[in-house]
Amino acid sequence: MKTIDELPLFPLNTVMFPDSKIPLHIFEERYKILINECISRNRSFGINLFADEKIYLTGCTSVVDEVKGRSENGEIDIVTRGIERYEIMNYEMSSDGYFTGTVKFTENSNFITVPGIFEEAVSLYNEIIAIVYKGSIKQINPDDEKWTSGKYSVSFLMAEKCGLNLHERQNLLEISNEDDRLQFILKYFESVMPKLKDAERISTIIMSDGYLSQ
């Protein structure tokens, strides 16, 4: 069932996935207002990719998971956590200088119906992060029931640490079906694996992701 809501929007040059965590330094006055309001009212806000001088319409609701610090000039260091995908129907500038939007929460399925693709994607992911991160990033256990329960998306988790560029991450976020997301990310893994001999270069690309390890 599709539902509609009003959200304050925080366009960024990043892609937020459900259950991802990203640290943010809030320094613009309008976004200090937005974040403080969300903290005081225990309210979520929307993160949308801003790139190519445009706001991409598919985004992810986020909450302030932790306030890491505040400076004397009101700047805030926070950790945000992604919650749920949505699509912007329309948006406008608020009186405080940030965008607010009417958003539609679309149907999303995390259920895996093609186990073979899931197992192959996880296997390649584990191989990639073992080479790049050398044990500092936890590998995914394919037998963990949270992936088969449909509550969590393994493709979104893998997308945080595998070196997808911004547009590839956005494309993945826009896919509403886990089987299709796994197919998308598996194709990417298959293109990356032959290049692993150049591991140092790939490590630099992948490790500049900005997501917090979980």
Output the pLDDT for position 10. Answer: 98
Those residues whose C-beta lies under 8 Å from the C-beta of residue 161, and which sit 6 or more positions away, are 129, 133, 137, 206, 209, 211, 213
Indicate the CATH number of 3-105 among 3.90.1200.10, 2.40.30.10, 3.30.67.10, 2.30.130.40: 2.30.130.40
pLDDT along the chain (214 residues), means of 10: 84 97 97 97 97 96 97 96 97 95 93 95 94 89 93 96 94 97 96 73 65 64
The structure's pTM equals 0.89
Output the pLDDT for position 195. Answer: 77
Domain residue limits, the chain? 3-105, 115-206
Output the pLDDT for position 204. Answer: 64
Output the pLDDT for position 132. Answer: 83
Single out the residue of 203, 87, 210, 109 nearest to residue 154, CA to CA: 109
